[in-house]
Amino acid sequence: MEEINNVEVVPCTESDYLKPFRVLYNQNGTKKSWDFMRTHDSVSVLIFNTTSHCFVLVKQFRPAVYMNEWERTKTQLPQSAETTEKSNPEASAPESQEAQSASEGESSSQWPPASAGVTYELCAGLVDKPDLSLEEIARQEVLEECGYDVPASKLKRITSYRSGVGVTGAKQTMFYAEVSDDNCVGAGGGEPREGELIEVVKVPLHEAMTFAYNERIQKTMGVIFSFIWFHNNMSPKYKISTNV
Amino acid sequence: MEEINNVEVVPCTESDYLKPFRVLYNQNGTKKSWDFMRTHDSVSVLIFNTTSHCFVLVKQFRPAVYMNEWERTKTQLPQSAETTEKSNPEASAPESQEAQSASEGESSSQWPPASAGVTYELCAGLVDKPDLSLEEIARQEVLEECGYDVPASKLKRITSYRSGVGVTGAKQTMFYAEVSDDNCVGAGGGEPREGELIEVVKVPLHEAMTFAYNERIQKTMGVIFSFIWFHNNMSPKYKISTNV
């Protein structure tokens, strides 16, 4: 699908996106501190196309997943990185040195294929527009990412939960949207201006449970959970295979 | 449960825990960059006690969740923070200034109660011991956090997925552990030396689905997903209420 090359890891002394904060507090009389990051809450949407009896997911290259896989490859390779290690006054942290030397000293053939960073996810987006309801934000994401125009009133709230507890503490609310081919008004694919390169993919209903539990297909827990939620709650309406 | 006070947010110019990196790459010929953080993969464990027919969860105060709730409270309050804003040369980012002025200028009565930061989660831990299998690491977490001693061979792998796709890209593997009161060898509660203050809580099987979908109870998606997984896969063995 994607062609990824010229990969390079550099130190990141200041990020516009990742800004750590520190909170100091007393817990039951003991002084503690915790480093966290502020981020927006989010919405995710399980989309089911009633014309084709398919779930509609988004598939994209995720640099953070790619880098995680790269680390895994490294730890499985013979430890040759030490021979390329060198002093770098700008990178004081051990991890920073390691990434730096790896990008400089290792050959590009050690980078995994692009597919290592490609994940299947629910249509989703950040709650960054204070004037809009969660349903309205979810509606916009369904339109922008997947090309279906459905009224916000037709979005069914499934539930909400903490999407991160250690670093961000953010809350995600999950919705269910039933669409038909008649609602399809565009190709989706996200906002190219925002750098989004999203592929819309369909998972047939009868393959959904096999897809959900196939660990070779990289996905979020939201995909697995929502497919099972559908199975449990919509099965009186739509038949679903349970060959798992 | 918890008493939280003397809360203060300070800028965090360098964190031992949150270290941003930047990856530069070409995607289909277009130069792109992404800021990410390296973290360990993790394991989580759904624990079911066959003596009491209860799920065993951990409950703890999560500073990042607390801060997320504090932000929510702020946006719902009248905007009084502007009057306390002042120049701070050390905090150049707008977000940093905002957090700084909030902690200095707002009264402690505006901090939410400690319960706003308390979440229910599966027993879980980081994969930070290269010599141990995922099952062994999961086994240790079950013992340390929840006090049950079960052999690693009795842990059943449920599935794996990406626990973060934007920032960390980390992978989580979920297990199922069946325990009995006979396996209970301690109180659990985590490692106080590592600053863990974990409360072990039991959710009776017949209340599990109501618990899972009760949005007033803060929890991770792992709790919801694993309860439903149990319902679908263990219900021939154990009866579970489906009053949702």
**Counted domains in chain B:** 1
- What pLDDT score was predicted for residue A73? 83
B interface test, pick of A162, A230, A241 with most B CB neighbours within 10 Å = A162
Prediction ipTM score:
0.85
The answer to the question of residue A69 being in a domain is no
Does residue B21 lie within any of the structural domains? Answer: no
Q: Are A80 and A145 in contact (CB under 8 A)?
A: no
Helix (H) or strand (E) holding A186: none
How far is the C-alpha of A104 from the C-alpha of A42, rounded, in Å? 36
* Distance between CA atoms of residues B57 and B229, nearest Å: 15
Q: How far is A217 from A58, CA to CA, in rounded Å?
A: 13
Between A99 and A224, name the one with better pLDDT: A224
pLDDT digits (tens, 9 = 90+) for B188-211: 887 766 666 799 999 999 999 999
Local confidence band at A92 (pLDDT 50, 70, 90 cut-offs): very low
Average the pLDDT over B82-110 and give the result: 40
Tokens of B234: 């263990």
Segment A66-89, tens digit of pLDDT: 999 998 887 765 444 333 333 333
What's the whole-number mean pLDDT along residues B98-115?
A: 58
Cβ distance of A95 and B38 shorter than 8 Å: yes
- CA angle centred on B132, ends B50 and A164, rounded to 5°: 70
CA pair distance B52, B49, nearest whole angstrom: 6
A197, exposed or middle or buried, with CB in 10 Å at 0-12, 13-18, 19+?
middle
Quickly tell me which residue has 């309205």 as its tokens: A136
Q: Does A236 touch chain B (CB under 8 A)?
A: no
Note which residues in 97-156 of chain A have CB less than 8 A from chain B.
99, 117, 119, 121, 130
Residue A221 clears pLDDT 80, i.e. is over it = yes
Q: pTM, whole model, 2 decimals?
A: 0.85
* B26, B169, B220: residue with CB nearest A62: B169
Decide which of B11 and B142 is more confident: B142
* Burial profile A164-184: b = 16 or more Cβ within 10 angstroms, e = fewer: bbbbbbbbbbbbbbbbeeebb
**Residue A149 belongs to some domain of the structure:** yes
Q: B1 falls in which pLDDT band (50, 70, 90)?
A: low
Task: Give me the pLDDT at residue B73, please.
Answer: 82
What are the DSSP calls for A144-163, one per residue?
A: III-B---GGGPEEEEEEES
pLDDT tier at A19 (50, 70, 90 boundaries)? confident
Contact A143, A185 (CB under 8 A): yes
Q: Which of A224, A232, A241, A243 to mutate to test the interface with B (most CBs of B within 10 A)?
A: A224
Does pLDDT of B86 surpass 80?
A: no
Residues composing chain A: 244
Q: Which of B93, B160, B169 sits opposite A64 (nearest CB)?
A: B169
Answer for the pair B95, A19: CB distance below 8 angstroms, yes or no. yes
> Is A100 inside any structural domain?
no
Q: Is residue A166 part of a domain?
A: yes
According to DSSP, the residues that pair with A201 across neighbouring strands are: A57
Question: How high is the pLDDT of residue B194?
Answer: 62
Note whether residue A86 is domain-resident: no
Residues 6+ apart with CB under 8 A from B108: B5, B6, B7
What whole-number distance in Å separates Cα of residue B133 and Cα of residue B137? 6
Quick one: pLDDT at residue A62? 96
pLDDT at A241 over 90: no
Residue A27 lies in a domain: no
* pLDDT at residue number B103: 42
> What whole-number percentage of chain A has pLDDT above 70?
81
B123-180 pLDDT, tens digit each: 999 999 999 999 999 999 999 999 999 999 999 999 999 999 999 999 999 999 999 9
Alpha-helix residue ranges (DSSP H) falling in chain A: 63-76, 94-105, 134-141, 208-213, 221-234
- Residue B161 and residue A6: Cβ atoms within 8 Å? no
Which residue in B5, B6, B60, B65 has the most chain A C-beta atoms within 10 A of its own C-beta, making it the best mutation to test that interface? B65
Find the CATH number of the domain harbouring B179.
Answer: 3.90.79.10
Q: Closest approach of chain B CAs to the CA of A38, in angstroms?
A: 7
3-class DSSP state of B140: helix
Asked if the model's pLDDT at residue A23 lies above 80, the reply is yes
Other C-beta atoms lying within 10 Å of the C-beta of residue A77: 11
Q: Are A232 and A178 in contact (CB under 8 A)?
A: no
Least confident of A68-82, A111-125, A145-159: A68-82
Task: Of B51, B22, B42, give the one whose Cα is nearest residue B140.
Answer: B42
Selected residues 192-231 of chain B with any CB under 8 Å from a CB in chain A: 195, 197, 212-213, 215, 218-225, 228-229, 231
Residue B184 lies in domain: 39-56+113-237
* A197/A60 Cα distance (integer angstroms): 7
**Is the residue at B105 inside a domain?**
no
Q: Which of A4, A10, A220 faces B165 most closely, judged by CB atoms?
A: A220
For residue A219, CA distances in Å to A60, A71, B162 come to 10, 18, 6
- Across all residues in chain A, what is the average pLDDT? 84
Nearest to A186 by CA among A139, A146, A142, A147: A147
- State the average pLDDT over residues B180-187: 94
Is there a contact between B220 and A4 if contact means CB atoms under 8 Å apart? no
Separation of alpha carbons B7 and B2, rounded Å: 14
pLDDT single digits (tens) B17-33: 888 899 999 998 889 99
Q: A33 pLDDT exceeds 90?
A: yes
Residue A133 has pLDDT above 80, yes or no: yes
pLDDT at A194 over 90: no
Average the pLDDT over B110-135 and give the result: 95
pLDDT tens for B28-85 read 888 999 999 988 999 999 999 999 999 999 999 999 999 999 988 877 654 443 333 3
Query: A64 at the B interface (CB within 8 A)?
Result: yes
